[in-house]
A and B are shown apart, each in its own frame.
Chain A
């Protein structure tokens, strides 16, 4: 009687979930984004399942079709893991070094830029204009990529 090689199927589906759940779910929280441990745990389970499924498919009595399919499924699992690590650690690091960015203890360079109402605003203004009727204790500058 032919029995389903459930390990291969489960490993295949789990590696798909392990890869896609990073951009769809786990990227939202710093604790699962900065180091993708949740995805790595899923991948570890997926790869164990794929390993046992592969071993089962390569027993002598199994058909060539199941050998091919299980090999493809295992390759897919490894590919998904590699793709996730590539996105996080290679593409994630595609940033300029910014070695000349001002350091802690230095004076922040002055600037005059326009606000959302096309009004010119200087850093000196930002540092002195009151918040809640009191002089500000500080200013947080957030440089961001924007919509272009």
Chain B
């Protein structure tokens, strides 16, 4: 996600809004993501797994946290809300790169 923050201006230029979603409550996001880590894009909290469940991204009884959390996944939507590109990784070590998304975003009008 750090690489997306670094490339945020390119996304803004391309007219793409970046939104991070996790189970973290807003207070935690404010402290860790905005204040400490310096992220500047939009963050949404989904502690009750509403959206995470609807997108079938629940990582139940995740080992490190012992909780139900979101598994990593990225979706690029066009302005009508249709998914135009996605990455639902099968391995933690293979994660979405900003370049891939910017390439896919070229097709959006």
Contact = CB atoms under 8 A, between A and B. Distances in A.
The yes or no verdict on A and B being binding partners is yes
Task: Indicate the member of B14, B77, B84 with the most A CB atoms within 10 Å.
Answer: B77
Given A101-B88, A140-B18, A146-B22, A127 B81 contact: yes
A13 B33 CA distance: 38
Contacts of A126: 17, 19, 42
B92 to A, nearest CB: 5
Contact of A96 (B13, B34, B43, B60): B60
Contact of A104 (B84, B92, B97): B84
Contacts of A102: 55-56, 75, 83, 86
Contacts of A124: 81
A46 B41 CA distance: 44
A89 B80 CA distance: 37
A144 B72 CA distance: 5
Interface in A42-87: none
Nearest to A95: B71
Given A99-B56, A108-B83, A109-B54, A148 B43 contact: no
B93 A92 contact: yes
Contacts of B24: 146-148
A142 B77 contact: no
A91 B20 CA distance: 24
B63 A94 contact: yes
Interface residues of B, number: 74
B32 A147 contact: yes
A92 B16 CA distance: 29
A88 B56 CA distance: 24
A20 interface: no
Given A98-B57, A148-B65, 18 more contacts: A34-B94, A95-B72, A95-B92, A96-B71, A101-B55, A104-B84, A116-B30, A117-B30, A118-B26, A134-B15, A139-B19, A141-B75, A143-B74, A144-B21, A144-B72, A145-B59, A146-B29, A148-B23
Interface of A: 27, 30, 33-34, 88-89, 91-96, 98-118, 121, 123-124, 126-129, 131-132, 134-148
Q: Report, nearest first, the 8 A-B pairs whose CB atoms are least far apart.
A: A146-B22, A100-B56, A137-B15, A111-B51, A113-B44, A146-B24, A92-B91, A109-B54
